[in-house]
Structure 1
Amino acid sequence: MSEPDRIFSQPQPHIPDFTFNEDVVRVFPDMIKRSAPGYPTIVENIGLLGARFAQPDSVLYDLGCSLGAVTQALRRHVKTERCRVIGVDNSSAMIQRCREYMLAQDSMYQELLPVELQEADILELDFQPCSLVAMNFTLQFIAPEQRLDLLRRIRQSLLPGGALVLSEKLCFADPEEHALLTDLHIDFKRANGYSDLEIAQKRTAIENVMRPDTFETHRERLLAAGFSKVVLWFQCLNFSSMIALP
């Protein structure tokens, strides 16, 4: 059961870089719901996109799966024969809790896709032939100089007719647009009960580990990685999701 997110509710003399540790795992569902505009819509629609792009005898990847929200959506919606989902995360605490969530889902539904969870660095994965890859707010935590090579390897593993679904927080080249959407995001978090202290301390913790790009940067990088088309299918404030086609 998720606990309320109070990680940054008290003043901290030293704020370490944000990590997906056990403290974050305990509050993650509450944190993401109150921090990421449109997150439930993105997750549910990745399940629907999976149903559209999934091919028989292929893998569906959830890279940076955290607690498995996308994996669960794929298992609910995809009925393609002989598909399986592989969820990957480098946080042992996330993977451990994710296994519990998958067992709970198995007890509630019948005939779900098989799922395999791996505690691993996605930069070191040996990708299997896949028809869908979901990266839901994951690429932004990878060093910028390593992003293109990872996307190239994903593109090389995608079957014809497959897709990469990439969800990312955006920054904006126009300073006024960036400032407006940043302020609106802060308003969103305030409306969900976060104090100015919590917002400021979270920003300090995450600014060195999460480096967002503009949509234009994402599009140019995806095309350089070998994708033929990039479609922005969702945006709410500065949170977005795009489909990249081989």
Structure 2
Amino acid sequence: MQNTDTIFAQPLNEVKDFRFDEQVADVFPDMISRSVPGYQSILNAIEFLANRYAQPNKRIYDLGCSLGAASLAAAHGAQHENPIYAIDNSQAMLARCGRYIRQFQHANNIQLFENDITQIEISDACMVIMNFTLQFVDPAKRDAMIKTIYNGLEPGGVLILAEKIRHEDPQADELLVDLHHDFKRQNGYSELEISQKRVALENVMQLDSFETHRKRMLNAGFSSVALIQQQFNFCAMVAMK
């Protein structure tokens, strides 16, 4: 049974920057399911893509793995027992991830690492997953991050990138934000919770548009970028090498 997210349910004297600490790790499954429209569909897509693109004896990387849902989806879909490197910089999230994934038989191929994903080397990869991770990376480091991923992928490899995006047209962006807030209200979040969490994320989650993401991946060398899922201002893309 998952714990209910009530982190922002009471008025806070000071809304601090959002952190993936023990408090968040404890309620993360509930938080993500009630906050991110289309999340399960994205995980299903990761499984399908792993079935299609996982190559024998090549690695799969899950950058910003949180509790390991994307790693498990890839492990379930891949046909070649690929080693999956699940990396996160939050000790609290990794600790809970380790306990969570042990419940699944496919977890044997998943190795957990605590590290800053902008500092790692990627090699012998057939697939790299960033499931709502790049939005928390310093914007000045994003081009280099995507280039590092491209360089570490084998020919025929793919990057799966899921992100919350902003629309380049202000009126359209306002609509998408409002629809997302309606989604959260429908899932039981109060106006106070929505408002306080938005403040907590302002300084730590910087959003790009789909076009910015697409151009960045093409500039890094990827041959093609496909939008495979979008609901409101949340989407998933696949960049092919």
Which residue, 182, 185, 188 being the options, matches 2:177?
182
Measured after TM superposition, the shift of residue 49 of structure 1 is 0.4
> Residue deviations 1:136-165, cap 9 Å, x none?
000000011100001101000101111000
Q: Residues of 2 paired with 1:66 and 1:170: CA distance?
A: 20
For the Cα contact (< 8 Å) 2:75–2:82, is it kept in 1? no
Aligned to 1:19: 19
Secondary structure of 1:211 counterpart: coil
1:79-90 maps to which residues of 2 (within 5 A)? 79-80=79-80, 82-90=81-89
Q: Residues of 2 paired with 1:113 and 1:54: CA distance?
A: 17
Measured after TM superposition, the shift of residue 170 of structure 1 is 0.8
Q: Residues of 2 paired with 1:181 and 1:41: CA distance?
A: 19
Q: Residues of 2 paired with 1:86 and 1:44: CA distance?
A: 19
Q: In the alignment, does 2:6 pair up with 1:6?
A: yes
User: Structure 1-normalised TM-score?
Assistant: 0.96
Measured after TM superposition, the shift of residue 122 of structure 1 is 0.5
Measured after TM superposition, the shift of residue 114 of structure 1 is 1.2
For the Cα contact (< 8 Å) 2:64–2:88, is it kept in 1? yes
Structure 1 unmatched ranges of 5 or more = none
Measured after TM superposition, the shift of residue 47 of structure 1 is 1.2
Secondary structure of 1:104 counterpart: coil
Which residue, 155, 166, 176 being the options, matches 1:171?
166
Q: Residues of 2 paired with 1:203 and 1:58: CA distance?
A: 39
For the Cα contact (< 8 Å) 1:20–1:91, is it kept in 2? yes
Which residue, 192, 197, 209 being the options, matches 2:192?
197
Secondary structure of 2:228 counterpart: strand
Secondary structure of 2:161 counterpart: strand
Aligned to 1:124: 119
Q: Residues of 1 paired with 2:121 and 2:214: CA distance?
A: 24
Measured after TM superposition, the shift of residue 113 of structure 1 is 5.7
Q: In the alignment, does 2:236 pair up with 1:235?
A: no
Q: Residues of 2 paired with 1:99 and 1:113: CA distance?
A: 11
Measured after TM superposition, the shift of residue 34 of structure 1 is 0.3
Measured after TM superposition, the shift of residue 74 of structure 1 is 1.2
CA-based RMSD: 1.1
Measured after TM superposition, the shift of residue 84 of structure 1 is 1.0
Aligned to 1:31: 31
> Residue deviations 1:33-57, cap 9 Å, x none?
0000000110121011011110011
Q: Residues of 1 paired with 2:181 and 2:221: CA distance?
A: 36
1:144-163 maps to which residues of 2 (within 5 A)? 144-163=139-158
Structure 2 unmatched ranges of 5 or more = none
One-letter amino acid of the structure 1 residue matched with residue 226 of structure 2: V
For the Cα contact (< 8 Å) 1:51–1:77, is it kept in 2? yes
Measured after TM superposition, the shift of residue 128 of structure 1 is 2.0
Percent identity between the aligned chains? 48
Measured after TM superposition, the shift of residue 2 of structure 1 is 2.4
> Residue deviations 1:155-199, cap 9 Å, x none?
001011110000000101111100111100000000000000000
User: Structure 2-normalised TM-score?
Assistant: 0.98
Measured after TM superposition, the shift of residue 75 of structure 1 is 1.4
For the Cα contact (< 8 Å) 2:122–2:153, is it kept in 1? no
Any runs of at least 4 consecutive aligned residues in structure 1 with deviations exceeding 3 A, and if so which? Answer: none
